[in-house]
Amino acid sequence: DVHMTQSPSSLSASVGDTITITCQASQDIVNSLNWFQQKPGKPPKLLMYGASILETGVPSRFSGRVAGTVFTFTINGLQPEDFATYFCQQYDNLPPTFGGGTRVEVK
């Protein structure tokens, strides 16, 4: 299985801050990576696929990049509704595997 190492596991930030989350894949997955947002009691919501392509309706303050096997997810100008848990997920190889999640909390 492809192992996804996501960091940090949690972070504290304020509205307006820029935050970055990283996922490293244990092997080459090209750009076959999703980013999900999950709020308490809700299912994960797909924000981004192909490492950097925003789903329809997702604000442009969300962005993604890839450099080799390291994927970064950035929120520029954190909004109140962005406090949530974020997961990466690779879909290049079966079984698809998820990162451990990053909880973004209010500072």
Partner 1 sequence: QVQLQESGPGLVKPSETLSLTCRVSGDSIKSFYWSWIRQFPGKRLEWMGYVSDIGPGRSNYNPSLRGRISMSLDTSKNQFSLNLASVTTADTAVYFCARGKASPYEWGPGTLVTVSS
Rounded least distance, CB 35 to partner 1, Å:
11
How near is the Cβ of 1 to partner 1 at its closest, in Å?
A: 8
Query: Residue numbers of the site for partner 1 (CB under 8 A)?
Result: 1, 32, 34, 42-46, 49, 55, 85, 87, 89, 91, 94-98, 100-101
| Category of 80 on φ-ψ map: left (φ > 0), alpha (ψ -120 to 50) or beta | alpha
Give me the least distance between CB of 46 and partner 1, in Å please. Answer: 5
Q: Select 62 or 87, whichever has its Cβ closest to partner 1.
A: 87
* Least distance CB 48 / partner 1 (angstroms): 11
- What is the DSSP annotation of 89-105? EE-SSSSPEE---EEEE
Q: Which is nearer to partner 1, 16 or 43 (CB)?
A: 43
DSSP 30: T
Q: Assess contact for 89 and 34: CB atoms under 8 A.
A: yes
Tokens 């604000």 belong to which residue?
59
Tokens at 42, concatenated:
């809700």
CB closer to partner 1, 72 vs 87: 87
